[in-house]
Amino acid sequence: MLELYDTTLRDGTQREGISLSVRDKLEIARKIDQLGIHYIEGGWPGANPKDVEFFQQASGLNLKHARLVAFGSTRKAHGSAESDPTLAYLIESGAGVLCIVGKSSAWQVRDVLGTTPDENLEMVGESIAYLKGKGRQTFYDAEHFFDGFKADPEYSKQCLRVAAASGVDCIVLCDTNGGTLPKDVFDIVRQAVATVPGTRIGMHAHNDCELAVANSLAAVEAGATHVQGTINGYGERCGNANLCSILPNLQLKLGHHVVSDEQLASLTDVARSVAEIANLPPDAHLPYVGRSAFAHKAGLHVSAILKSDDAYQHINPLLVGNEKRVLVSELSGRGNIHYKAAEYGLDLDGGREQAQAVVDEIKDLESQGYQFEGAEASFQLLLRKSQPDYRAPFELIAFSANSQRRNGGPAVAEATVKVRVGDELFHTAAEGNGPVNALDVAMRKALLNFYPELAEISLADYKVRVLEGSHGTAARVRVMLESERNGETWTTVGSSENIIEASCRALTDSLEFILTGGKILAPAVS
């Protein structure tokens, strides 16, 4: 049976930009346990106060599937296992499974560790035997194994033999520098399996050549039955092997039943939850769990998946808890429009002609700097406007906005708008923190008597992108405006050489969208 071992809480925290509290680590451990992973490495007890506290609190985790692992190193050179402080901390952690790292490269032993190859072998063997004697399941992380094997295969094999003879439960071969190619991993793992028959062999890959997942799968095909990695591939330098890719590849592609179908379907939720806890934006382009993993943009592709999802999807995204998405852009065809209209609950009674007219309008607007892929509310509003019975709730006739600084005081922004609602015309003015805010206040002032629900809307985000920098301050800009109401958000877009006009277009779309019953699509997974 294949075992999966998660090291997000130890190796994953070595990623630049990650710093987890004890509470964060406990919460991540619960999420990983939900996924059905067999082992969760909690940290290095004794290395820092947080890891000590984590293991003190870990008894309250009540893990249902995973066993908690404490990580450390072999005894120090010329010492004894019985008096080694690192091994003592491992025992004191209370973890039932212990993993120790030791050198398996002869030159690393001599030049980095500063001891002899024979002494290193004793360090490995004595440390494993000591921990096994304490009744703990013990793993040996053979550090720099692949690089060491290429330079001196006999010494690396000897490290395996010593570990096996000492009663180790699993030997984990580490591609520590992440530079080994899959073919070499396959060949070396196969030799390692033959060197210590009857001993479980594992794989721990780093992603410096973007091959960590491929190397992990190659190791399994060569006979490894234990695979280590991290959620979302977090780790030092370029990261570790991504368990969010390894798990579905093993189960859906190679036919290994590692976790239940229900657990596999929680994969996307776990990946995004861990990113949220780590205070990192989820990588939209990760395989399987990324928001874009099953997103379809090209018109040709969308036309095909309307006939069969298999046309441009290698699996059903629901298997990993993700969702199919169709995007709209200048690359769209009529299929994109029909799909999105159905998603919004709209009927395109005009059929092909109406859909083609929308496609043509999108292409024209995107050539002017609009981008509907990230502004679905503006696109949905465009679709609604294409309906023959559409009636706008208001019409912005005119606007002006300016900023002034008087007598050395703070800048003051003022805006005026002229708005028509039905047969009535309103001319209002307002001040704000800036010209866009002043426009927003002035428009609401004119509309609130008719649409009091606008009082519940607030600005959640505002982004400006210069589209052609060679024109300097006269460049065309794109404004993306995110609005919020009772926890729901929607995004609109405007584009112009005038940043105020672009902002006003995005703002008008935002208010018109919500007033016409725009459908806010909740994500299928959080």
The pLDDT value given to residue 524: 42
Q: How many residues make up the chain in this entry?
A: 526
Instruction: Tell which residue, 505, 465, 508, 513, has the closest CA to residue 489.
Output: 513
pLDDT at 326: 80
Alpha carbon distance 461, 424 (integer Å) = 32
Distance CA 308, CA 17 (A): 41
Give the per-residue pLDDT at 474: 59
Q: Are 387 and 346 in contact (CB under 8 A)?
A: yes
Domains, in order of start, for the chain: 3-277 (3.20.20.70), 295-385 (no CATH), 397-443 (3.30.160)
User: Hunting for tokens 């509003």 — which residue is that?
Assistant: 381
Backbone dihedral angles phi then psi of residue 242, each to the nearest 5 degrees: -85, 110
Q: What is the dihedral of CA 206, 208, 210, 216, to 10 degrees?
A: -20
Q: Which residues contact 89 (CB under 8 A, 6 or more apart)?
A: 45, 46, 52, 70, 72
Which residues, given as ranges, of the chain have pLDDT below 50? 523-526
170-175 and 137-143 beta bridge pairing: parallel
User: In the structure encoding, which two tokens stand for residue 460, read together?
Assistant: 């959640």
Longest dimension (CA), the chain: 94
Contacts of 206 by beta carbon, 8 Å cutoff, 6+ apart: 175, 176, 177, 178, 212, 235, 236, 237, 238, 239, 240, 241
And the tokens for 402? 């300016």
> From its phi and psi, is residue 17 left (phi > 0), alpha (psi between -120 and 50) or beta?
left
Helix 376-385, helix 499-515: angle, nearest 10:
70
Whether residue 203 contacts residue 224, with contact meaning beta carbons closer than 8 Å, is answered with: yes
**319, 265 contact by CB (below 8 A):** yes
Burial of 417 (0-12, 13-18, 19+ CB in 10 A): buried
